[in-house]
Amino acid sequence: MDRFADVLDRLVTTTQRNGKIRLLANYFRSTPDPDRGFALAALTDGLPMSFPMRRVVAEIMEPHIDPVLYRLSRDYVGDTAETVALLWRSREPHGMAPRLSEVIETLKRTSTREMPRVVASFLDRLDANGRWALLKFLGGALRVGVSARLARISLAQGMGAAVEEIEEVWHAIAPPYTDLFQWLEGVGPRPDPGQRPVFRPVMLAHPIEDGDWASLEPQDFVAEWKWDGIRVQIVSIGEQVKVFSRAGDDISQSFPDVAQAFFGRHGVLDGELLIAKDGEVRPFNELQQRLNRKSVTERMMQQYPAHVRLYDLLFDGAQDLRALSFTERRARLEDWFARARPVAADLSELVGIENFTELRTVWSATRESGIEGLMLKRLSSPYLAGRPKGHWYKWKRAPLTADCVLMYAQRGSGKRSSYYSDYTFGAWRIGEEGKPELVPVGKAYSGFTDEELLSLDRWIRNNTIERFGPVRAVKPALVLEVAFDAIQSSSRHKSGIAMRFPRIHRIRWDKPAEEADRLETLLRLIPR
């Protein structure tokens, strides 16, 4: 528990991703089973037990502290686990700090009625930091700035493995993952998914760069449209269907309609999840309505019908096709599709390539809704996990741009903590009194060089009109050319629009602010 508490505590104040990976990698490498497995569970899938936090806290704190003092403390600290950890005064000299596994095993055997007493005795054996970590651990949501994927990346780093290997067996294992650790340490067999529907690491593309073209031959490649949805993997085995996101998260619950469509149609498929009505792909924000939902109503499914555009076939039934070339897999995919005929799915269209000049014409002329650009896939490539070089390229269509006016700047964090590096910018509209006013349309914190950051920082400090904590309002005098992938309507923003992937394209030191774009111009970019 002490080591886990120490790592957790340091994760809270570590802002750099690499620093977090180092901390966790070291922890996984040097902590015994099954404790490290329970820590991994807390960072990924959650604990293999439910814990009635609210009731336990209420019961253990009631005799421990005056309710007024508890309320004032909770209000100040803003986090229940931390408040309890800081208020707790151990009743007896500390015993040995419990191990994570002891906590889990004891609580599994404990009746709900007895839980408060058992938790209190654990708290007695820990210092303030340990108490905080214990309660965070039992609460299920650690909130230390580590995603499930980052935890797996750290694990891979710590054990000297590729994260894809871990992702491939992830859904075949359960906390405390002892079989996984044994396999990673070379003392046990690879965990066998057996008849369970498990995720296979997906193949990703590199953005194509100007220098790449010269080394590519058009006859070696095929092109496909790049759709603006989310990449999914559908695994249908036996009586089960799972829908996984690109990172291996199980999102089946949000998309029962997709699971239903692939029921009994055995295989592992790679595709793009979209919302489509009458064969028309809908804007991304309609798909967003359906993401991250624990359950979905019939009405939601009718209003935003899911559709899968299939790219690839990894397994045909139980047969692994990943070593085959794209050409062969595509033929098998077409064959599979003809047999299975899943509803709410179709095949991704192949775009023939005569030569790259012609392809560029097609690429630049396409403004169809839902298309982000083109994918180039090498015909001879097998299906490889991760982002291998030289096989798949993504060629995003030229971004949209708008000239916006810098309104607010905020200091960054970590290395950027002394720089104003987060920018809120606006577009002009006519205000209530008939005068032009700026309305915020987006926020960006990338796209500029270090030197430009310095100049922006200096400009902001010299042109501040008001300060609110880490935020400065600036004179409406600097035009930023902002690039973005799309504009969506949004009821959450005052402007009524939301930009997708906004970034600073150019700083227009030369352009007068009055000549920046108007909100109407941006509104016209919303796809209908």
Partner 1 sequence: MAALDPHRWIYPTPQGLYCVAGDFYVDPAQPVERALITHGHGDHARAGHEHVLSTPETAEIMKIRLGQGAGQISEAPLGKPMTIKDARVKFVPAGHILGSAQIVIEHSGRCVVVSGDYKRTSDPTCLPFETVRCDLFITEATFGLPVFCHEPPDKEVARLLGSLAANPDRTHLLGVYALGKCQRMIMMLRKAGYDAPIFLHGALVNLCSLYQRLGVNLGELLPVTERDPARYQGAIVMCPPSAIADRWARRFGDALSCFASGWMRVRGRARQRGAELPLVISDHADWPELIDTIRETGASEVWVTHGREDALVHQLGTMGLKARALALVGFEDEDD
Active site residues: 226
- Cβ(177)–Cβ(152) under 8 Å? no
**DSSP letter at 97?**
P
Question: Residue 26 or 182: which CB sits closer to partner 1?
Answer: 26
| Residues 6 or more apart whose Cβ sits within 8 Å of residue 133 | 1, 4, 5, 8, 9
Position 377, amino acid = K
Residue 280 beta carbon to partner 1: minimum distance, rounded to whole angstroms: 46
**Residue 155: which of 13, 42, 5 has the closest Cα?**
42
Q: Is the dihedral of CA 278, 282, 285, 291 positive or negative?
A: positive
Min CB(92)–partner 1 separation in Å:
17
Q: Which residue has the tokens 């009743």?
A: 91
* Least distance between partner 1 and beta carbon 29 (Å): 16
**Of 72 and 379, CB closest to partner 1:** 72
Count of residues making up the chain:
528
**What is the residue-wise DSSP string for 51-68?**
--HHHHHHHHHTTTS-HH
Of the pair 6, 346, the CB lying nearest partner 1 is at 6
Q: What phi and psi, each to the nearest 5 degrees, are found at residue 247?
A: -85, 0
Q: What is the closest distance, in whole angstroms, from the C-beta atom of residue 409 to partner 1 in the complex?
A: 14
487 sits in which H/E element: strand 486-489
Compute the least distance from the CB of residue 80 to partner 1, in Å: 12
Please tell me the distance from the alpha carbon of residue 313 to that of residue 234, in angstroms, as a whole number: 10
Name the H helices within 125-224: 128-139, 148-159, 163-170, 178-184
Q: Please identify, using beta-carbon distances, which residue of 354 and 450 lies nearer to partner 1.
A: 450
Least Cβ distance, residue 162 to partner 1 (angstroms): 28
Nearest residue (CB) to partner 1, 20 versus 309: 20
Q: Which is nearer to partner 1, 68 or 398 (CB)?
A: 68
Q: Which is nearer to partner 1, 23 or 159 (CB)?
A: 23
CA–CA dist 139, 488 (Å, integer): 36
Q: What does the binding site for partner 1 look like in residue numbers (CB under 8 A)?
A: 12-15, 65-66, 68-69, 72-73, 76-79, 82-83, 86-87, 128, 132, 411, 413-415, 417-418
Half-sphere exposure of 61 (CA within 13 A, CB side): 23
H/E run at residue 508: strand 503-508
Bridge partners of residue 376, in order along the sequence: 223, 393
Contact 395, 208 (CB under 8 A): yes
Q: How far is the CB of 466 from partner 1 (least distance, A)?
A: 19
* Residue 398 DSSP code: P
- Say how far apart CA 279 and CA 389 lie, in whole Å: 34
